[in-house]
Amino acid sequence: MSRLPLVLATLACCLAAGSAAAATTPIQGVRTPSANISCLDLPGPAHALHCELRSATYAGALQRHCAAVAGLDWHGFELGPDAKARVTCSGGILYSPDTQRPVYRTLAYGRTWRHGGFTCSSARTGLTCRDGHGHGLFLSRESWRAW
């Protein structure tokens, strides 16, 4: 019995899986050289720059705030295209992993990233992001500020 049909079927499955993975839409993002801070430019009707931190001294306080106010987890910060940045309380991932995939660019200290109306500048002291209307967000391991 020939193994050719089995080999062809396996190859077809692999090609289909590869093209399905390739069909995901990239979501542009940026991260600091330490990889502690990362931000994604989330597309769609609620277009926003969503930033998360792996480690922050204030994480516990913001987690308690989100649990008390919304019964959800603290997920970071969000800066809209024309609104003051805010704390993000969420119950899960803020994009669709089936159709979207984050693509992060590491932003060297002293460099600036621009995408979708947002500008982020990386420094050893933290990451500062702004929208086109003067609103902004500063993030570091030790502190944060929204305006």
pLDDT confidence bin for 22, thresholds 50/70/90: low
Q: Does residue 62 belong to any structural domain of this protein?
A: yes
Q: Does residue 112 belong to any structural domain of this protein?
A: yes
Looking at residue 93, what is its pLDDT?
A: 82
24/69 Cα distance (integer angstroms)? 34
Q: Does residue 66 belong to any structural domain of this protein?
A: yes
Q: Does residue 15 belong to any structural domain of this protein?
A: no
Burial of 79 (0-12, 13-18, 19+ CB in 10 A): buried
Q: Does residue 4 belong to any structural domain of this protein?
A: no
Q: What is the mean pLDDT of residues 107-129?
A: 97
Least confident of 20-24, 69-73, 113-117, 126-130: 20-24
- pLDDT greater than 60 at residue 106: yes
Q: Does residue 67 belong to any structural domain of this protein?
A: yes
Domain count, the chain: 1
Amino acid symbol at 43: P
In terms of pLDDT, which residue wins out, 18 or 88? 88
Contact assessment for residue 77 and residue 85, using Cβ atoms and an 8 Å cutoff:
yes
Joined together, the tokens standing for residue 26 give 């990239």
17/117 Cα distance (integer angstroms)? 34
In terms of pLDDT, which residue wins out, 104 or 12? 104
Contact assessment for residue 131 and residue 41, using Cβ atoms and an 8 Å cutoff:
no
**Which structural domain, as residue segments, surrounds residue 128?**
26-146
Q: Does residue 2 belong to any structural domain of this protein?
A: no
pLDDT confidence bin for 145, thresholds 50/70/90: very high
pLDDT confidence bin for 2, thresholds 50/70/90: very low
pLDDT digits (tens, 9 = 90+) for 27-73: 999 999 999 999 999 988 889 999 999 999 999 999 999 999 999 99
Q: Does residue 6 belong to any structural domain of this protein?
A: no
> Measuring CA to CA, which residue among 33, 47, 39 is closest to residue 83?
47
